[in-house]
Amino acid sequence: MHELAVMQFLVEAVEESVPSGRIRALHLQIGEASGCEPGPLVFCFEVATHGTRLEGAVLEVERVSGEAVRVTELEVC
């Protein structure tokens, strides 16, 4: 399941880009041609965020055209 590896990468990247604070929400855009499916990504989110500053955060996923998987918004407190 490569979605777990993708989600683990995204969690690490978000934690590196936000030096402090708890991340309350993560908004993603998933390209239809990205090879990633929203359902499995959502399923992997809880596992990938366990023990991180994203644990308990809300994940919002938007399906868009294209190949990219991108973080479009973060909510930090």
Looking at residue 30, which CATH number applies to its domain? 3.30.2320.50
* Three-class DSSP category at 50: coil
pTM over 0.85: yes
Which helix (DSSP H) or strand (DSSP E) does residue 11 occupy?
helix 2-17
* DSSP symbols for 64-75: ESSS-EEEEEEE
> Tens digits of per-residue pLDDT, 31-66?
999 999 999 999 999 999 999 999 999 999 999 999
Structural domain containing residue 13: 2-76
Of all residues in the chain, the percent with pLDDT exceeding 70 is 99
pLDDT reported for residue 2: 86
How far is Cα of residue 74 from the mean position of the Cα atoms in its chain?
10
Of all residues in the chain, the percent with pLDDT exceeding 90 is 95
Report whether pLDDT(8) > 70.
yes
pLDDT reported for residue 1: 56
The count of structural domains within the chain is 1
